[in-house]
Amino acid sequence: MQSPVQNLLGSLSGEWKLNLETQIPRNDLYKSRIASSRPTLGFFLLLICSAVIATLGLISNSTAVVIGAMIVAPLMDPILSLAFGLSIADNRLVKRSAITVIIGVLTVIATATLLGWILDASEVNREIYSRTAPNLIDLGIAVAAAIAGSFTLTRDRLSNSIAGVAIAVALVPPLCVCGIGLSMGSEVIAVFGRGSVAGLSNQISEGSFLLFLANLIGITVASLMVFLLQRYGSIHRSWRNLLVWLGLLGLLCIPLASSLRDFSIRQNIDAQFATFKAGRVKQFKLTEKNPYLWKKVKLLYSNVRVSQNNATIELVLNAQEGLITQKVIDELHQRIITRARKDYGINEISVNISVIPNQIFKYNFTEGKQS
């Protein structure tokens, strides 16, 4: 019999209770994972369509189109089957899922390469370049998405969430960027606002494929842990598989940690220029000299790129004609280099500064009195 306090709380909360969903039986989950490990005509049709959509979206620099490709992509299913096979130590399921994943990866890269070659893609935009420098943040996203995805598989009521998981982890777009990079020659131009950088062909393919590996390994390890914690598999049977994939995860963290440092440096330098854009000159530590002069200067555009502890900084300034002299530019250039090396330990710095001058025209009109 409930006490008056319990009755009151139940009345106020509408008899709210935590509902623990029932797990899908192991045999049912095993059957679904076997089905997902075997590629079908529908699997390849959706995969090729997803690759086409993602490649065209990347080339046209359309975020919405790339997101649409993530929803269509079926590549996460065999990866979850791979993780389930590792958790129950089913070598046949592991091999079959791994082969399906490999064939799927090659299919996406080949489709993107062919489209990039047909469309003669030679320009790297923001959508493409953003997937060429993965770091530990991307690995964290993959792990969180994998936990959500693998847990969703074990609960019937949560099956509608799998589309959101596919968007979060983004498996196909990095492979499409890799294919686009392979279709480009050595003369590659990356466009950033008003500036451009050449010679990024190797970085495009290698960086984007590293992002896919981060997603693949992160999903596999996290899903393997989820299946083990829910007792679908046994740690006594699958500990070797767990150690191998944890080792791969550890190796992957080495380049990702280095890339995260580059990302942090870029964010800090970007923040410095953001204060200048907002008109807070006193807080803009790179221009402590000539503060009154810099109050009359407008920063139209800034772009910072950091790779392997080397930085490229691009600025576009707007000022009255004759206000910014060569001496002022040299002073600013030296200030940027000094602070970048002192505060962030940058080895090599390339600074590009453009100045757009303003001309002031004055027109005086005097009108006499009429009698």
Please list the rounded mean pLDDT of every run of 10 residues in the chain (371 residues): 68 66 84 89 93 94 88 88 93 94 95 92 82 89 88 73 62 92 68 46 81 93 92 88 94 89 79 62 52 70 74 80 81 81 80 80 69 49
pTM more than 0.75: yes
Contacts of 334 (CB under 8 A, 6+ apart): none
Does the CA dihedral 163-168-174-177 come out positive or negative?
positive
Contacts for 184-187: CB closer than 8 Å, 24+ residues apart: 184/116, 184/121, 184/122, 185/122, 187/122
What is the Cα Rg of the chain in Å?
A: 28
Q: Detail the DSSP E strand segments found in the chain.
A: 123-124, 189-192, 195-198, 298-307, 310-320, 348-358
The answer to whether 114 touches 52, Cβ cutoff 8 Å, is: no
Query: Which residues contact residue 180 at a Cβ distance below 8 angstroms, ignoring those fewer than 6 apart?
Result: 55, 58, 59, 112, 113, 115, 116, 121, 128, 204
List domains and CATH numbers for the chain: 26-233 (1.20.1080), 270-358 (3.30.70)
Structure tokens at 108: 């996406």
Q: Quick one: which of 207, 74, 208, 225 has its CA closest to 143?
A: 225
